[in-house]
Structure 1
Amino acid sequence: MSILCGVPIVVECVYCGSWAWKRCHLSGTHDSENWSIANAEEFEPVPRFCRYILAVYEDDIRNPQWEPHEGYGINTDWLILKRTYKDTQGRVPPYLLYLDHHHADIVFAIRGLNMTKESDYAVLLDNSLGKRKFHGGYVHNGLLKAAAWVLDSEGQILRELVEKHPNYTLTFAGHSLGSGVAAMLSMVVVQNPEKVGNVERKRVRCYSIAPTRCMSLNLAVRYADIINSVVLQDDFLPRTSTPLEDIFESIFCLPCLLCLRCMRDTCIPEEEMLKDARRLYAPGRLYHIVERKPLRMGRFPPVVRTAVPVDGRFEHIVLSCNATADHAIIRIHKESQKALEVSLFINSNN
């Protein structure tokens, strides 16, 4: 009897050992190793939008804490509005609206999760698998509600800007939690163009920096012409397939979460998980900035790989000491700028 009782423990150890072995040999570079290299022209806007998002984090936009790279600063004369937590009543993270005349762009930038704000967690945790249907797919409920609140609050001024500048693009950009709100905004605007001056689909863009998994795969692919997701190396959030509400509910019981992930990853075949139409993914076209190589020490000149994967994207968390550091907007801004400079240098020598 005692031998039989020990069988489940042995089986579980084998499963978890298999999971740990697989994770220890997994590198962030593996996710995009078969993707093509992004060209400089298509990646050029990314550092600029990182800078706009950073401006939302600033307490005083006229005296920035983070000095902008040359050519990527904010002209305060072109700032239309900047909302704080007090203004948004906790319905959505702070954001700004900026009229970029240099690039003929109306920019709506949203900051990421503030770990000290309960309202941000309320938005993030307002979801469950398959809770919210949208345009033939599934989306994150809390993020969609936040996007709807933004359009109700700022729809009139967006409409005026779109109509006043008919040759300008309308770009939504966000980091982390804000990336999901930006992605939802872009889809809602495309589906309801009358809300912002009957803007055409080709004029709408979105840049989700360090994106949260916020929409089903069919929507992620369908909106790949509009939404661009940017992931730095080992960033954990785009790879977090465990529902976000489970992660934060388990924050004081990390072994429970790891056990859950272990059982899911080892007992459920990946093909089976990918069949679930309710499963959420990082949105749109993906840009993966790679700066570290497997079994190699140090950093290398970053390269950007891109694709529109249709069979899953960033499916496994990478056990890396950089998994959280690669999520920081200031770091993504720095590495995206370096990657762009590398790409421009290569182009100039070809």
Structure 2
Amino acid sequence: MSASCGALECMLCLGCTRWAWRRCTFAGSNDSESWPLATLSDFSAIPRFILFSLSSYSSASPELSSTATLYKYVSSPPFSPPYAIYTDQSYKEIILAVQGLGLSRKEDYRLLLDNPPGSQMFKGGFVHRGLLRAATWLLEQEGDTVRQLMHEGGKQWRFVVVGHSLGAGVAALTAVLAANDLGRYGCERREQVRCFIMAPPRCMSLSLAVEYTDVISSVILQASLA
């Protein structure tokens, strides 16, 4: 009996050691090692949208395109992270930039933790309930603004949502909601809604992530623990 227990303990220790070794040596590049390299056209817009994402952290924006204009900055919304709205005449875009997790904002923690497992179904999959509520509130607040700016811009304009960290999750679900109700936000075609997010948290099930690959582009540098 003692011998069998000892063998079981050894197997358990070996299994835990193997798991810990693989976890500690795993890098994000392991997931994508078989993927093709991104083309220049795929990546060219990313640095520009990273700057817009950074701009959501302060009304004193980093150096953006000379044709980008700050339309609105909301520093303390009650049901979403802070955000900014820009127009860019050169690229014909309305950009909604959502800030990431604010360590001193209690609202952000409540938003992040509002996600009982399996509690929020959406379009045949599951999404993060708190992030969906924030995205819904954000569009309720700014949907009319986006529609007005899109109508003023014309049919060649597009609505782009960007974000980092917690804001990336809100941005992704904002884009999903907008893509499912194009007319409400002044869009006629699905390709007029785009989303570029940096280090996003897990906010939707795999089936939804695959369904919206034409809308959402996410950027992760190596491994992300989100």
Same fold (TM over 0.5): yes
- Determine helix, strand or coil for the equivalent of 1:149: helix
Give TM-score, length-normalised by structure 1: 0.60
Is structure 2 residue 115 aligned with structure 1 residue 127?
Answer: yes
**Change beyond 3 A, Cα 1:43–1:163:** same
For residues 14-163 of structure 1, the aligned pairs below 5 Å read: 14-58=14-58, 60-61=60-61, 64=62, 68=63, 73=64, 78-85=69-76, 88-89=77-78, 91-163=79-151
Q: Deviations over 1:154-196 (max 9, x none)?
A: 1111110111112111100010101111110111111122321
Amino acid at match of 1:55: S
Is structure 2 residue 217 aligned with structure 1 residue 219?
Answer: no
Which residue of 171, 175, 180 maps to 1:191? 180
Residue identity over aligned pairs, in percent, reads: 40
Aligned residue number for residue 179 of structure 1: 168
CA distance in 2, matches of 1:25, 1:156: 48
Amino acid at match of 1:78: T
Is this contact kept in 1: 2:196–2:216, CA < 8 A? yes
Structure ranking higher on relative contact order (CA contacts 8 Å, 6+ apart): 1
Aligned residue number for residue 12 of structure 1: 12
CA distance in 2, matches of 1:77, 1:136: 37
- Determine helix, strand or coil for the equivalent of 2:220: strand
CA distance in 2, matches of 1:164, 1:132: 35
**Change beyond 3 A, Cα 1:131–1:46:** same
Q: Deviations over 1:85-116 (max 9, x none)?
A: 2xx11x11111000011111110011111122
CA distance in 2, matches of 1:101, 1:59: 20
Q: CA deviation at 1:139?
A: 0.7
Unaligned runs of 5+ in 1: 238-350
Aligned residue number for residue 208 of structure 1: 197
CA distance in 1, matches of 2:140, 2:67: 25
Unaligned runs of 5+ in 2: none
Give TM-score, length-normalised by structure 2: 0.91
CA distance in 2, matches of 1:5, 1:59: 63
For residues 270-285 of structure 1, the aligned pairs below 5 Å read: none
CA distance in 2, matches of 1:198, 1:56: 24
Amino acid at match of 2:143: G
**Change beyond 3 A, Cα 1:227–1:150:** same
- Determine helix, strand or coil for the equivalent of 2:103: coil
Is this contact kept in 1: 2:195–2:217, CA < 8 A? yes
